[in-house]
Amino acid sequence: MSDFATQIQAFTCINDEMKQKIIALGDKSTDEKRAKVIAVLTEGEAKKKAILTERDAKMAEQAQASLKAVNDFKRGPLREGIKQIESIDKSSEEKSAEDLLNQI
């Protein structure tokens, strides 16, 4: 029975409350029924792992798309904006210098 309880505790596809209920019912069950429970939970664990793997792949794909969008923005519109600001700043400095020269 302790082997059954240990196996049930190892599953992550069910919560702790459900684990305790299954262990309590396992005390009254036959070995055949315990084996069926383990088989069902093993299948559930595999499904959970597949779902998590798929989710992780989608999240990584979305992160890559976001990073690409940020890099594209840095290479395009941001770079152009900085160039425009620098040209405005430079022309403003030149205008200020001309005004100073005209005042002298």
For the stretch 62-85, pLDDT in tens is 999 999 999 999 888 888 888 888
Phi, psi of 63 (to 5 degrees): -65, -40
Name residues whose C-beta falls within 8 Å of residue 19's C-beta, 6 or more positions apart in sequence: 8, 9, 11
Please report the pLDDT score of residue 32 as a whole number: 92
> Quick one: what percent of the chain has pLDDT higher than 70?
92
Is residue 9 pLDDT above 70, yes or no?
yes
Q: 29 by DSSP, 3-state: which?
A: coil
Q: Please check whether residue 26 is in contact with residue 56, taking contact to mean a CB–CB distance below 8 angstroms.
A: no
For the stretch 89-101, pLDDT in tens is 777 777 776 776 6
Please state, in angstroms and rounded to a whole number, the distance separating the CA atoms of residues 48 and 88.
57
